[in-house]
Structure 1
Amino acid sequence: MTADATSGADGAVADPAFELLPRGTALEARLLREFADHAAIGFSLYEVPVAPGEPGRFSFVNRTYLKLLGLPSELAIAEVGDAVLEAVHPDDRHRTAQMAADFLAGRPTHQTLRMIRPDGSVRWVRSRRTPILDDDGGLVRVAGTVEDITEFVMTSTALRENEERFHQLADNVPVGFTLTDVGDPPRIVYWNPAFLQILGVDPDAADEPVERLLVSRTHPDDVAAWSRSLDDIRAGRPFDGEIRIIRPDGELRWLRIRRHPVRDEHGVVFRAAGTDEDITDRKSAEAALRFAQSEADRANAAKNEFLSRMSHELRTPLNAVLGFAQLLEMDQLSESQADSVGYIVRGGRHLLALINDVLDIASIEADRLELSIEPVHVGTALNDAVRLVQPQARDAGVALSFDPMTPAASLFVQADQRRLRQVLINLLTNAVKYNHRGGRVEVSAEQVGTGQIRFVVSDSGMGIRDEDMARLFVPFDRMGQQASGIEGAGIGLALSQRLVSFMGGHFDAHSVHGTGSVFGVTLPRSEHVDHPVVAPSATAEAVGPPERVCTLLYIEDNHSNVRLLQRILARRPGWELVHTDRGRRGLELVGACDPALIMLDLHLPDMNGIDVLRELRRQPGGETRPLVIASADASPGQVSRLIAAGVDAYITKPLDVRDVLSLLDRFAADPQTVAPPRAVT
C-alpha cells in the first residue's frame, strides 16, 4: 500500500484523487480551470441583471469558447458580450433575442447559429443555455455551451443536396430505377415514378405489391427473363435483356432491362440496381428500317433483273440486224447496195452504243456498275481513242491531233481501261460532231501535282452558252441541238461524268459560246508498271478448209441467232452445225456428236446456261471440252465470272462476224494449240 492510500472503515483502500474536493478550495478551482481550458466545447456563465433594465454580463468563458468564435484569448471578460453579439451572422441575430427571452423566463434553450470570425470565415455553432436558480427558484445566472458543428452542417448539407439531386434525376427521367433485395422471394425496396408509369400504373393508385405488378404486366413468353436476371445477379453477373409488357389497356410495349449486382462490405451480393427503359419506339423504327431495307433490296433486285433482261432483250434483236448486215458487207455488192448496207451497220451500231449507254447509266444509278481498276498507260489510252475517232474526224474535215511525246503520256493512271477509253471516245466524238469543217480538236495530258493526271480535250467548235452549262450533264438534254441535224441522244457527257466519278476522278468543263470548249478528266496517278505491247488483232479473211471435220454444237433458243450462225458457218467449209434450243438436250448431244466447239447461250427455256456449263464440266472428258459463251449480257462481272468458271471464250451479242470467224479458225486448229480463255466483246 502506498503512503497516499488510506483504509476505510470497511477495509477498502481509498484513493484521494477520486474523492470529491472540498468546495472552494484552491485545488478545485485549479482543476476546474484546467478542465474548462482544455475541453473541446466552449463554456460560459452569464450573470442575469439583478434589477430590470440593468445589463447582464458574462462572468466566465473558457478559452475554447473564445477560440471557437475566433475571439482573442486576452479579451477582457467585460467585452465578451458585445464581441459575441457582433460575431453573430446578421441573418441569425433575431434568434439571440428569442434565446434571451427564453432563458430569462427560466427555460432551457438551444439554437444553431452562424458566426462570422474576424478573418471573414463563417462557422456554424450549436449554442445551448441552461438556467441556474437559487434556493428560492430565482434565476441568478445562465450556464452555456458552444459547439462548432460546421463540418456536421456541411456534411449534412452535401448529403441533403445529393439526395435532392438523386430525386430530381429519378423523378424526372423517363427511365425506371429500381433497387431489389435478391432474397427468396425477391423484394423491390425502391422504385421511381417512371418505373410504374412504364408499367402503365398510376403511382398514387398502386393497389398491389410492385413485384406482383411487374410479373402480371410481363408478356407470358418473357416472364422467364426475370428468373434469368435474378440468377445472373445472385451469381455476381450483370444482366441486360429485352422483354415485352402488356399494359392494362392492352398496349404492348418493349422494355430494355439492365440489372447490376450490389455487394455489401463483405463482397456478398444482396441487391440488384436496375434500370428499365421503354424501347418500343426504337423497336418500331428498327422494324420499319428492316421493312424499308427489304423493300429496297426487292426493288434493287427488280431493277437488276430489269437491267439484265433489257440488256438481253434489246441486244438480241440487234444481233440479227448487225449480224446479217455484216455478212452482206462481205459479199460482192453493187455500190448502192453497199451504201445501203453501210447505213444499216452504222445505224445498228449507233443504236447499240445508245443501248449500252442507257444501260450503263442505269447500272451506275443502281450502284451495280462493275469496274476493273488497274494501272492504265496514259499515252496508250489517248492513242487508242484518237485512232478510233480519226476516221470520223477526217470525214468531218476536223483536224484531230495528239502529241504522244508529251511528258505525261508516259505515266499511268488508276482506271478501268475499257471505261476510260469509252469516256475519251465520247469526248472526242462530241468535239468532232459539234465542230465545223476546218476546225481542230487537240488532245493532251498533264500532271496535276504529284498524285493526279488530267486528260484534256479542247476544240474550236460552237461552244456552250453560259446559261446551258448547268444542263451539261443531264441525260437526254441536248440543249436545243435536236433540230441541228447532228446525230446524238444527249447521253454521252452524262455517262462520261458518272463513269469518271465511279473511277475516283472528277470531270470539269469550260466553254465560250462561238469559240470552243475544253473538257478535263482528272484521275489518280498510278505507280509505274511494265506496259505490255498489244499486238493488232488479225483480220478474219477467208481461209482454206480445216484438216478435220469440225462440229459446232450451238445451244440457243433464238432462231434468228441460229440462222445467223448458219450463214457464218457457210463461210467456213468443214464446219457443220448441230443445234438444240434446250440445255438438257445439249448435254445429251455432247456425247453423240463429239463437237469441236460448244457455243452456249445463257438464257435457255429449261435451265440456266451456267448450270449447263457446270454439268458439262462434271461429265467424263467434259472438263476439257471447248466451250464458248455467246450472250447478250456484256457486263464485265459476268464475263469475268464465266472466264474464271472455265469457259474458253465469251462473245457478246450483237456478234461481230469477224470475231466469230476468227474464233472458228482458232478452234479448228489442233486443240493443243488453242489460246487461253479470253473475252471477245
Structure 2
Amino acid sequence: MYFIISIIALLVVIALYTSGLSITTLSLLSLVLGTIGVVTVITISQSLIKDLNAITKGADLIRKGSFQSKVQVHSRDEIGTLAMAFNDMTNTLEQKIAELKLTEDNLIKERERAEHFEKAKKHFLVNMSHEIRTPMNAILGFARYLQESLTGKDEQESIRMIVKSGEHLLATLNDILDFSNIETGAVSFMRLPFNLRDTIATIYQLMESNAKLKKIGLSYSIDNSIPDSIIYGDSVRLTQILLSLTSNALKFTEFGHVSIAAKAVSNDEDDQIAIEFSVKDTGIGIPLEKQEKIFELFEQGTNHMTRKFGGTGIGLSIVKHLITLQQGEIYVRSILNEGSEFCFKLSFFKTNICDDDWDEHHKNELALKPDLESRKRIKVLIVEDNAINQLLVIKLLQKHGYETTVAENGKVALRKYTTADFDIILMDLQMPEMDGYETTIHIRDLKSYKKDVPIVAMTAHTIKGEMEKCLSIGMNDYISKPFHANELYEKITGLVKQVTPTLVQ
C-alpha cells in the first residue's frame, strides 16, 4: 500500500517536471503531495491497526469461550476478507460447540437414566428376593416341620412334593439373581478351607433322591491323584456349579446312569492344584450345531427340549460365568441320543491340614451341640415382623427346648432387650418402625451395661455385600431365608458357646 502511494507521487512529480514548471513550484507541489501521502499512509495505517486489533480482540474472546461478539470490519481489502473469514470461523465454532454441548447434555442424561435404572433394578431385585423368600421360608419351613411330625405314607409323599416344588421355585429365583449379579459384575468368591471329598459326597446325597425317583443310577468318584489334604477355595460356588450340572444331567436322562468325577490335572508342589471335574450322563445328548451355543443365555438344546423339560435357559450360562470368573474353563462332549459329558477345570490352593485333623475339627463342632436340657436354658429374642415366619421360628426352636421371645420390629426389640436378658438375637433386616441394621447399632451402643449378645441376621436379602454389611455393623453371623432348621440350630449353638461356654454343655 505504502509502495503504491510512493510510486504514484513520484510519477506525478516527474510529469509536472517535464511540463516545464519551475523548481520552486515543483518543490511546493512535492511538499503538498508528500504531506497528502503521509496523511493517507497514517490514515490507512490507523485503519489497518484498528481492524487488526478488532480481529485480535475477537480471537481473545474466542479463547475465553465467547462466540457472540463478531469482528466489525467493513473494508473490502484483504483485512476485510480476513475479518469475514474470521467471523465465519467463529460462527462455525459456535455451532459445533453448541452441538457438542447438546450431545454432552444428552449423554449426561442418558448416563443418569442408566444409573437410575441400575439403582431401580437393584432395588427391585432386593425387594423381589425379600418378597419371594419370606413366604418361601414359611412354606419350606412348615413343610419340613411337618415331615418330622407326619407318619402316614401318603401324607409324607404330599409334603415331600411341596418341599420339592418350593426348592425348585427357589432354585429358579437363585438363577435370576445370579444372572443379575453376573450381568452387573457383582459376583464375589471366598477362599476358605474345605474337604473336597465331603463336598462331592454331599452333592451326591442331595441328588440321590432325584435319581431314585427316575430310577437312574448315580455315582461319584474321586481319583487318587487328588491329595487327602484340605484345600482352599469357594466350596459354595463349586457346589452350585456341580449341583447345576448334575441336576441338568438327571433332568435330560431317562434311562441309564449319571456320574460325577474329579481328578487332579496338575499339582504344583508349592501352593496350587488344578482339578478337573466332570458330570457324565447317558441322556438325550446335544445336537452338534447346538453345542457351541449351549452356554449362551436362554439357550437349550432345542425348542422341543424347552417345552418338555422346562427351565430358565440361564443355568449353563451362569455355570460358565462362575467358572470363567475363577480363571477356569468348561467344555462339553456330547453325542445325540447317547449322552453328554460336561468337564471343567478349577485351581485351588493347598493347605497343610490333613483329613484326620479336619475330621477331629468337625468332631469338636459336633460336641458343641447341646442336649435338650441345655437348650432349655438358652433364651432367644426373635426380631421378625412377618407373623408366619415368627410362628415358624418359634415352633422350630420350642420343639428343641429353646426359650423364645418375639419382637415385631426394632423398637419393640430394643425395649425388650433392655428389660430382659437374652443369650442370642435372631434379627430380620427389613422391618417397619426400625429395621435390623439400626436396631443392631443401637444394641451395640448399649453394650456398656449389657453383655455382648450374639446377633444373627435372619433375612431374605441375598444381594452381594449384604453379609459384609451385617458383620460391619456388629452382627455375628448371617442366615439366608429360606433356611434349614439344622443350620439355625448350629449357628445358635456355636455362637452361644463362644459367649457363654458354661451354658452349652
TM-score by length of 2: 0.72
What's the CA shift string for 1:191-230, capped at 9, x where partnerless?
xxxxxxxxxxxx9995743443345x36xxxxxxxxxxxx
Partner in structure 1 of residue 275 of structure 2: 453
User: Would you say 1:481 and 2:308 are equivalent positions?
Assistant: no
Q: For 1:84-113, what per-residue CA distance to the aligned partner results, in whole angstroms no more than 9, with x for missing partners? A: xxxxxxxxxxxxxxxxxxxxxxxxxxxxxx
Measured after TM superposition, the shift of residue 634 of structure 1 is 2.9
Rounded Cα–Cα distance in structure 1 between residues aligned with 2:49 and 2:247: 82
Q: Structure 1 residues 371 and 663 mapped into 2: Cα distance closer, same or farther (>3 Å)?
A: closer
Which residue pairs with 2:432 in the alignment? 605
The alignment status of 1:340 with 2:153, answered yes or no, reads: no
Quote the residue 2:207 is aligned against: 389
SS at match of 1:615: helix
| Counterpart among 495, 501, 520 of residue 318 in structure 2 | 495
Q: In structure 1, give the amino acid aligned to 2:381.
A: L
Matches within 5 A, 1:124-163: none
Change (3 A) 1:374 1:659: closer
Q: Distance in 2 between matches of 1:674 and 1:591?
A: 23
Partner residue of 2:54?
A: 209
Match of 2:423 among 596, 612, 625: 596
Q: Is the 8 A contact 1:415 1:523 kept in 2?
A: no
Alpha-carbon deviation of 1:508? 0.9
Task: Using the TM superposition, give the Cα deviation of residue 330 of structure 1 relative to its aligned residue in structure 2, in angstroms.
Answer: 1.7
* More displaced 10-residue stretch of structure 1: 461-470 or 635-644: 635-644
Deviations 1:23-42 (A, max 9, x none): xxxxxxxxxxxxxxxxxxxx
Distance 1:291 1:213 in 2: 33
1:384-424, CA deviations, whole angstroms, 9 ceiling, x for partnerless residues?
43343234334433333333243146688875321111101
Task: Evaluate the alpha carbon distance shift between residue 584 and residue 547 of structure 1 in structure 2; reply closer, same or farther with a 3 A threshold.
Answer: closer
Alpha-carbon distance, 1:307 to partner: 1.7
* Alpha-carbon distance between aligned partners in 1 of 2:176 and 2:292, rounded to the nearest angstrom: 21
Report 1:74-223 matches (<5 A).
Answer: 206=51, 208-214=53-59, 217=61
Q: Cα distance, 1:286 vs. partner? A: 5.6
- 2:383 and 2:176 map into 1 onto residues whose CA distance is 29
Q: Trace 1:414-563 onto structure 2 (pairs within 5 A).
A: 415-447=233-265, 452-478=274-300, 479=302, 480-484=304-308, 486=309, 488-524=311-347, 526-527=349-350, 530=353, 533=358, 535=362, 543-546=371-374, 550-563=378-391
1:606-658 per-position Cα deviation (integer Å, ceiling 9, x unaligned)? 23321211111011345602222110113463223423543233211113223
Larger Rg over CA atoms: 1
Question: How far is the alpha carbon of 1:529 from its aligned partner?
Answer: 5.0
Aligned residues, how many? 422
The change in CA–CA distance for 1:444 and 1:572 in structure 2 (over 3 A counts) is closer
Residue by residue over 1:459-490, the C-alpha shift from the partner in whole angstroms, topping out at 9 and shown as x without a partner, is 22221112332442344544322454x56443
Query: Kindly tell me: are residues 434 and 401 of structure 1, through their superposed partners in 2, closer, same or farther at Cα, counting changes over 3 Å?
Result: same
1:245 aligns with 2:66: yes
> In the alignment, is the contact (CA less than 8 A) between 1:477 and 1:490 conserved in 2?
yes
CA apart distance, 1:352: 1.1
Partner amino acid, structure 1, of 2:149:
D
Could you say if the C-alpha distance between residues 471 and 413 of structure 1 is closer, same or farther in structure 2, counting changes exceeding 3 Å? farther
Structure-1 residue corresponding to 2:455: 627
CA contact (8 A) 1:431 1:441 kept: no
Aligned in 2, Cα 1:613/1:209: closer, same or farther, shift over 3 Å? same
AA at the equivalent of 1:213: G
Are the structure 2 counterparts of residues 337 and 383 from structure 1 closer, same or farther at C-alpha, using a change threshold of 3 Å? closer
| 1:408/1:447 contact within 8 Å kept | no
In structure 2, what is the Cα distance between the partners aligned to 1:320 and 1:547?
23
Mapping 1:339-378, distance limit 5 Å: 339-373=157-191
Structure 1 Cα separation of the partners of residues 246 and 486 of structure 2: 26
Whole-angstrom CA distance in 2 between matches of 1:657 and 1:365: 33
Q: Deviations over 1:62-99 (max 9, x none)?
A: xxxxxxxxxxxxxxxxxxxxxxxxxxxxxxxxxxxxxx
Instruction: Provide the C-alpha distance between the structure 2 equivalents of 1:363 and 1:657, rounded to a whole number of angstroms.
Output: 28
Instruction: Output the CA distance in 2 between the equivalents of 1:665 and 1:348.
Output: 27
SS for the counterpart of 2:385 is coil
Distance 2:245 2:253 in 1: 12
| Cα distance change, pair 618–339 in 1 and its aligned pair in 2 (3 A) | same
Checking the alignment, whether the CA contact within 8 Å between 1:557 and 1:605 is kept in structure 2 is yes
Change over 3 Å in CA distance of 1:578–1:285 after alignment to 2: same
Larger RCO (alpha carbons 8 Å, 6+ apart): 2
1:312 paired with 2:130, answer yes
1:226-277 superposed Cα distances (whole Å, 9 cap, x missing partner): xxxxxxxxxxxxxxxx84223348xxxxxxxxxxxxxxxxxxxxxxxxxxx9
CA contact under 8 A between 1:444 and 1:457: conserved in structure 2? Answer: no
Q: Using the aligned pairs only, state the percent identity.
A: 24
Higher helix proportion (structure 1 or 2): 2
**Residue identity in the other structure for 1:593:** A
CA distance in 1 between partners of 2:152 and 2:370 (Å): 21
In the superposition, relative to structure 1, how do residues 248 and 670 fare at CA in structure 2: closer, same or farther (>3 Å)? closer
Contact 1:667 1:674 in 2 (8 A): no
Q: CA deviation at 1:299?
A: 2.2
- Matched to 1:314, the amino acid is I
What TM-score, normalized by structure 1, do the two folds share? 0.55
Q: Which residue of 2 aligns with 1:579?
A: 407
Q: 2: CA distance between counterparts of 1:644 and 1:529?
A: 30
Match of 2:112 among 276, 294, 310: 294
SS of structure 2 residue aligned to 1:624: coil
1:330 alignment partner in structure 2: 148
Task: Output the CA distance in 1 between the equivalents of 2:194 and 2:493.
Answer: 31
The residue type paired with residue 482 of structure 2 is P
On the 8 A contact 2:126/2:462 being kept in 1, the answer is: no
Structure 1 position 293, deviation (Å): 3.6
Q: Does residue 1:400 correspond to 2:222, yes or no?
A: no
Preserved CA contact (<8 Å) 1:441 1:460: no
Separation in structure 1 between the aligned mates of residue 144 and residue 194 of structure 2, nearest angstrom: 32
Give 3-state SS (helix, strand or coil) of 1:403's partner.
strand
> How much does 1:346 deviate?
1.3
Distance in 2, matches of 1:370 and 1:329, equals 35
**CA shift for structure 1 position 329:** 1.1
Residues 346 and 487 from structure 1, CA distance in 2 versus in 1: closer, same or farther, beyond 3 angstroms?
farther
> Which residue type is aligned with residue 612 of structure 1?
T
Structure 2 residue aligned with 1:639: 467
Instruction: State the partner residue of 2:488.
Output: 660
Q: Alpha carbons of 1:384 and 1:409: their partners in 2 closer, same or farther (altered >3 Å)? A: farther
Distance 1:395 1:664, change over 3 A: same
- Structure 2: gaps spanning 5 or more residues: 1-47, 71-92
Cα pair distance change 1:653/1:621, threshold 3 Å: farther
Assess if the C-alpha contact under 8 Å between 2:193 and 2:230 holds in 1: yes
Find the aligned partners of 1:525 and 1:595 in 2 and give their Cα distance. 41
